[in-house]
């Protein structure tokens, strides 16, 4: 659930809005300035003047889309004007960038008639590689798109029409196939007669639906031959010779219902009148024409899709427009043809029938995703969508004669994957994994406002059940201030905790030979971090996240006094995940928080822990041991220690892709590593960076996070036998949420591993081993 204050804070936090402009070339020196602007900029200007197509080589036009609106039909809000529609257009820009790496300028026009919008877009053609029309009311939207497509030489696409049609078309192809019906014979009712409805009907006909089998309804009932009220030329195209006058009458014995209208306008009784094995696409947002649970209860034989993410078969336009524009831009298409839209639909329908990778299933909480009644179209966060759909669009553009460049589709697929596949959605991956099995994540700083705000997100996202440690009355008072529902979480108080006497005895047992008495054990447990660690140790919580109010060493020390290290591990270490905004790659830096001057043996152990962390993020580790020296170029005790660590690691994990010692730039630039040091066993550039000491590692991650251009997740504590993580004191709400999600995922893995070990033990006992 999205609250008003959450939405306003999201949009108003600095910098305001959701998008910015980032330079793609350096401008740090006088030479850079001379190249970026005068006099150097004159050279490409003259080249483009001589050959206008060179604008795609020397400028960003080929990756730039205008999202244009006049604000006359914004979401379900109606004609709220261009300025009020700007947050939606910025949101569209975010989706273009997130899913297809396309840059966007949002353009809100103070234009109340179609001709003004058309002329404005025509004047913008030199700037943009494509135009996405958005939230323009019907019937003007049809005229605007039709005239722009005739007059411009760049792709123009009205997503409200065609995006919905493309995704709904894929759902219809697969849904009717599963129902044992054909497109040509299916009887279809479309409720709604606006832009999306008309476009869907046209697209369905292209896909094989018989035009006469479509009955369209608007707010006044069926569009029938001879009707005069509320008609326009676009509605008239779908007026049918029929006795039906109401939606209820139209739906009787129909095979498909497509809702593009308003919430709760369809009743269970109306669904019961449909033919056997009906396909119900109730696509009104945010609430469908009939709630999903009501639809499947009324018709257990129905295949049901909605626009919502909390039910199966979400029809979401993000499955369409990013990939369509990616392909259209890369083919330099002069327009978006019907063939390109059909190719997009068919690629989505085909992808849904393929085996779904485990990594995608994990994103959706381990859900068993396979082609069937509850999975007729791919999921929006399936990274294969753009990788399949965009090449299909490129192929169709070339075949239909609108591509201005010839594209090697095999090579294009490789370049596209390199461009899009890594670094995106990392934190979402964690969150979706965490949802698979809800764990209890303990927060010893239960009355900290940042923790409380984070817990609201943890609950909203279904990441975990928070357990807050502290004074109940204070926590409930502060929670109310941030609108946190404490009935959905647990609160534990040290003084009144029923297990306190047992915790005292357990701590005394563990530490009695390390200088602690029973009385001292009782006093020590007044430390919330120590008490929380004991709760995790004794399985009264599954994981722990803390550190906002105490220094890192003072926080981690009591945790490690109670939580033992895993078998074979002698040191804990801190790993940071670094996600650059400009490179499709993740980096794991260690040890950034714990070990001041690790030995060679300890460095090798730190590398093993960091490599394991990388795999948790579905990244195959490539480990580089860093130094100021590369492969013996300088002889010193510090570089010798790093060289020894490499040899120790190769003995312990010979299959791990690792090498060193090497300088940092050599490690992350594969062309430099492989060009200068072809003998190195590390191929492809490193993604796990092991620093020689805490000084270098801590300085490196602090610089990266402070200078910008990267997202940092962590610190991730490796080594302890149970998931406990220590935040930096300056951590944000997002930092707390990310570590809580990671802790929950680790707790799930630990439970799974423990269950597997117990099962193996039971099998051995049954065999009499």
DSSP, res 506 = H
Residue tagged 């219902």 (tokens): 257
Distance between CA atoms of 729 and 549, rounded to whole angstroms? Answer: 6
3-state secondary structure of 221: strand
Residue 734, both tokens: 């997002």
The active-site residue out of 92, 379, 585, 641 is 92
92 an active-site residue? yes
Output the CA–CA distances (angstroms, integers) from residue 453 to 474, 480, 738, in the order listed: 15, 11, 13
Distance between CA atoms of 440 and 454, rounded to whole angstroms? Answer: 14
- CA-based torsion, 94, 100, 102, 107: positive or negative: negative
Residue 136, both tokens: 């323009």
Output the CA–CA distances (angstroms, integers) from residue 373 to 178, 312, 376, 377, 742, in the order listed: 7, 9, 6, 10, 32
Of 535, 498, 530, nearest to 511 (Cα)? 530
In 562-695 the beta strands, taken as DSSP E runs, fall at 573-580, 587-590, 622-626, 657-662, 688-690
Q: How many residues does the chain have?
A: 769
Of 67, 52, 208, 199, nearest to 126 (Cα)? 52
Output the CA–CA distances (angstroms, integers) from residue 440 to 20, 527, 682, 730, in the order listed: 38, 20, 40, 24
In 397-487 the beta strands, taken as DSSP E runs, fall at 439-443, 464-469
The active-site residue out of 10, 37, 220, 474 is 37
585 an active-site residue? no
Strands 303-306 vs 130-133: parallel, antiparallel or unpaired: unpaired
Residues forming beta bridges with residue 690, ordered by sequence position = 590, 625
Distance between CA atoms of 574 and 526, rounded to whole angstroms? Answer: 26
Q: In this structure, how many other beta carbons lie within 10 angstroms of the beta carbon of residue 659?
A: 22
Q: 3-state secondary structure string, 666-720? A: HHHCHHHHHHHCCCCCCCCCCCEEECCCHHHHHHHHHHHHHHCCEEEEEEEEECE
Of 529, 65, 561, 532, nearest to 322 (Cα)? 65
- CA-based torsion, 757, 762, 763, 767: positive or negative: positive
Q: Which residues are catalytic?
A: 37, 92
């Amino acid at each position: 659930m999205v609250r008003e204050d959450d939405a306003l804070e999201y949009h108003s936090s600095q910098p305001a809005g959701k998008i910015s402009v980032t330079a793609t070339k350096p401008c740090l020196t006088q030479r850079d300035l001379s190249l970026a602007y005068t006099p150097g900029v004159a050279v490409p200007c003259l080249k483009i003047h001589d050959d206008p197509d060179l604008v795609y080589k020397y400028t960003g036009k080929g990756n730039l889309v205008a999202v244009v609106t006049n604000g006359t039909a914004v979401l379900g809000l109606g004609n709220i004007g261009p300025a009020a529609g700007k947050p939606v257009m910025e949101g569209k820009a975010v989706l273009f960038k997130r899913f297809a790496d396309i840059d966007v300028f949002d353009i809100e026009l103070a234009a109340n008639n179609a001709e003004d919008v058309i002329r404005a877009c025509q004047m913008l053609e030199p700037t943009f590689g494509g135009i996405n029309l958005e939230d323009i009311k019907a019937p003007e939207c049809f005229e605007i798109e039709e005239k722009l497509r005739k007059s411009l030489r760049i792709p123009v696409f009205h997503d409200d029409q065609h995006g919905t049609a493309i995704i709904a078309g894929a759902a219809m192809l697969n849904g009717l196939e599963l129902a044992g019906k054909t497109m040509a014979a299916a009887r279809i009712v479309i409720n709604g007669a606006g832009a999306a409805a008309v476009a869907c009907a046209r697209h369905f006909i292209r896909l094989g639906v018989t035009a006469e089998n479509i009955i369209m309804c608007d707010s006044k009932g069926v569009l029938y031959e001879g009707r005069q009220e509320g008609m326009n030329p676009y509605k008239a195209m779908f007026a049918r010779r029929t006795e039906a006058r109401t939606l209820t009458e139209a739906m009787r014995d129909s095979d498909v219902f497509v809702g593009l209208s308003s919430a709760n306008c369809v009743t269970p009784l109306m669904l019961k009148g449909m033919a056997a094995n009906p396909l119900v696409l109730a696509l009104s947002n945010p609430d469908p024409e009939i709630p999903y649970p009501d639809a499947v209860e009324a018709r257990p034989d129905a295949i049901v899709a909605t626009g919502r993410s909390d039910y199966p078969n979400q029809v979401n336009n993000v499955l369409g427009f990013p990939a369509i524009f990616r392909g259209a831009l890369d083919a330099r298409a002069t327009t978006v043809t019907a063939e390109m839209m059909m190719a997009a639909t068919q690629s989505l329908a085909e992808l849904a029938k393929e085996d779904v990778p485990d990594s995608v299933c994990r994103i959706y909480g381990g859900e068993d995703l396979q082609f069937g009644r509850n999975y007729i179209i791919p999921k929006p966060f399936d990274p294969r969508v753009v990788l399949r759909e965009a090449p299909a669009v490129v192929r169709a553009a070339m075949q239909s004669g609108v591509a201005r460049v010839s594209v090697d589709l095999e090579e294009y697929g490789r370049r596209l994957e390199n461009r899009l596949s890594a670094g995106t959605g990392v934190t979402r991956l964690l969150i979706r994994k965490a949802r698979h099995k809800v764990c209890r994540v303990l927060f010893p700083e239960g009355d900290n406002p940042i923790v409380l705000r984070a817990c609201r997100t943890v609950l909203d996202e279904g990441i975990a059940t928070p357990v807050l440690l502290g004074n109940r009355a204070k926590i409930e008072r502060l929670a109310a201030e941030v609108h946190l529902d404490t009935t959905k979480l647990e609160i534990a108080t040290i003084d009144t905790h029923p297990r306190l006497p047992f915790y005292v005895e357990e701590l005394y047992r563990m530490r009695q030979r390390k200088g602690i008495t029973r009385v001292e054990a009782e006093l020590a447990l007044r430390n919330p971090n120590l008490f929380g660690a004991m709760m995790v140790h004794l399985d009264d919580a599954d994981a722990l996240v803390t550190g906002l109010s105490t220094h890192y060493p003072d926080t981690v020390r009591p945790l490690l006094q109670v939580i033992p290290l895993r078998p074979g591990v002698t040191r804990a270490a801190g790993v940071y995940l670094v996600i650059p905004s400009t490179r499709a790659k993740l980096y794991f830096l260690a040890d950034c928080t714990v070990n001041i001057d690790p030995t060679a043996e300890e460095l090798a152990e730190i590398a093993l822990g960091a490599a394991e962390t990388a795999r948790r993020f579905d990244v195959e580790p490539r480990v580089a041991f860093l130094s100021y020296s590369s492969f013996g170029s300088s002889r010193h005790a510090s570089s010798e220690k790093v060289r020894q660590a490499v040899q120790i690691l190769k003995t312990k994990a010979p299959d791990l892709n690792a090498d060193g010692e090497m300088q940092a730039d050599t490690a992350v630039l594969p062309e430099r590593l492989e060009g200068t040091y072809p003998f190195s066993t590390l191929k492809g550039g490193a993604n796990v960076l092991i620093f020689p000491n805490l000084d270098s590692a801590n300085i490196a991650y602090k610089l990266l996070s402070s200078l910008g251009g990267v997202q940092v997740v962590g610190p991730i504590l490796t080594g302890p036998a149970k998931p406990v993580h220590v935040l930096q004191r300056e951590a944000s709400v997002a930092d707390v949420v990310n570590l809580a999600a990671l802790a929950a995922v680790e707790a799930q893995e630990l439970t799974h591993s423990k269950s597997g070990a117990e099962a193996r033990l039971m099998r051995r006992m049954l065999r009499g081993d």
